[in-house]
Amino acid sequence: MTAPPWKIKVVEPIALRSEPERRRALEEAGYNTFLLHSDDVFVDLLTDSGTSALSQEQRAAMELGDEAYAGSRSFFRLEQAVRETYGYRHVIPTHQGRGAEHLLAKLLVEPGSIVASNLYFTTSREHVELAGGVWVDVSVPEASDPLSAHPFKGNVDLEALGHVLAACAPELIAFVRVEACLNMAGGQPFSLENLARVRELTLEHGVPLILDATRISENTLFVKDREPGEAGRAFPELIRAIAELSDGAVFSSKKDHFVPIGGVLALNDDELAERARELVVVYEGFPHYGGIAGHDMEALAQGIRESADEATVRHYVSQSAYLGGLLLERGIPIVLPLGAHAVFLDAKRFLPHVSQEEFPAQALAAALYLAGGVRSMERGIVSGQHGDEPYDGLELVRLTIPRRVYTQEHLAYVADVVTGVFERRDQVPGLRMTYEPEHLRFFQARFEALGVFLEPSVAVAEPSTP
């Protein structure tokens, strides 16, 4: 692991609850880690979204927030940061990433129109479908193979995309979406070369190419490290080169931009941006704040600059590599190659005795919490199944690393907890869903256990804390 290019100035206390307390909390949460209270969690690896530590520069910038309803100078500073870092002409702030996705879907998706994407992201797909669109997966097959060592599993399958584009009139394609550090594949990057080929295809067919640039910094680092000929390029230049291949982008700024709240819809097309500004007043707020405060925009502008700092991004990615390396050494099944923002456990191999209908990744996430207060997230059938369609896709547990928050000792502790559960994996039963929400069910679904989780007599042997 590389040494972090920061030191800690403010700390937040955390505590490990006792095993009976954790068991009670888990049952009350219906075996859904989203429904746990954060006070009951020791190491919180639920998400990297909005959970980063702010820098002193971000905090200082917040003091300069201009809370004017219209014409806020904080907006113009944000606009400048986006333009300088990514080159997009128009900047529309939103309350978070899904606010930008909502606007984009309203702008570009008509009933029956197609969005072609590398795999999917939950909220991205939901907004497209709510607008009547049809989501088409054009990811490379390696994206869905946790054992493939392909260095760019976030790539688009160019042949598949070519077929989709050739089969439809251009007005039937709403946009082509390419997600950086593809979350659902395990935080896997696309290559610059692949994106350039996607660009050629979209230009040829006259359809917009929109990046989900939420994790563009980490994707850029992988391009620099893995793609022939890119190692010598300056990091900020490479970020910009990626962004310049697209017509626009959606950002959840709660990740790479180190802010607790905020998102951006960035566009190059003047007319589309004008329409987006008309819509933003309906759904988010005036175009000069778009659902966040002036001080949020200041923190975001500064965070965007920090997200282009190679040492910061390199340290962050090395944390996943460290945790993943410990788990690999111990024979724990994880997704390879190691991704950017998280280590993904392969629940199908971890719990081969739990069938996919019994939610192995959900059960494994519950077991990790029970064993050591470590909170993770299911990324399997609960998140991925679509209506009544059969699902036999990946069954992953995401150990997501908040930026600039946890130390090497915390990560070593997490590795010990995972190892402890792996050694007792026969004591992790499946689950039955008892409540299924209509939308994005993984957030609030509830479950009951189909057996006893980690026999109390055994689980009572507490893992040693850092």
| Chain positions contacting ligand PLP, by CB under 6 A | 49, 96-98, 121, 123-124, 179, 183, 212, 214, 252, 254, 263
Report how far residue 379's alpha carbon sits from residue 385's, in angstroms, rounded to the nearest whole number: 10
Q: Characterize the bridge pairing of strands 377-379 and 134-137.
A: unpaired
Report, as residue numbers or ranges, the catalytic residues: 69, 121-122, 212, 255, 379, 442
Report how far residue 34's alpha carbon sits from residue 32's, in angstroms, rounded to the nearest whole number: 5
Nearer to ligand PLP, 74 or 123 (CB): 123
CB of residue 378 to ligand PLP, shortest distance in Å: 14
CB of residue 81 to ligand PLP, shortest distance in Å: 18
CB of residue 255 to ligand PLP, shortest distance in Å: 6
The SS3 of residue 385 is coil
The SS3 of residue 361 is helix
- Residue 224 has a CB neighbour count (10 Å cut-off) of 20
Q: Which residues pair with 92 in a beta bridge?
A: 265
Nearer to ligand PLP, 340 or 417 (CB): 340
Nearer to ligand PLP, 30 or 97 (CB): 97
Please choose, from the candidates 238, 375, 399, the residue with its C-alpha nearest in 3D space to the C-alpha of residue 313: 238
Q: What is the largest CA-CA distance in the chain?
A: 65
Nearer to ligand PLP, 50 or 162 (CB): 50
Contacts of 10 (CB under 8 A, 6+ apart): none
DSSP assignment of 113-179: -EEEESS--HHHHHHHHHTT-EEEE-B-GGGG-TT---TTTT-B-HHHHHHHHHHS-GGGEEEEEEE
Helices 310-329, 408-423: inter-axial angle, 10-degree rounding: 30
CB of residue 250 to ligand PLP, shortest distance in Å: 7
Calculate Rg over the CA atoms of the chain: 22
Contacts of 404 (CB under 8 A, 6+ apart): 4, 6, 52, 53, 55, 258, 312, 316
CB of residue 270 to ligand PLP, shortest distance in Å: 25
Nearer to ligand PLP, 98 or 315 (CB): 98
Give Cα 42 to chain centroid, integer Å: 21
Q: Which two tokens stand for residue 201?
A: 């295809």
CB of residue 136 to ligand PLP, shortest distance in Å: 17
Report how far residue 2's alpha carbon sits from residue 268's, in angstroms, rounded to the nearest whole number: 37
CB of residue 449 to ligand PLP, shortest distance in Å: 28
Nearer to ligand PLP, 77 or 98 (CB): 98
Nearer to ligand PLP, 267 or 459 (CB): 267
The residue at minimum Cβ distance from ligand PLP is 97
CB of residue 338 to ligand PLP, shortest distance in Å: 18
Sign of CA dihedral 372, 377, 382, 384: negative
Nearer to ligand PLP, 72 or 252 (CB): 252
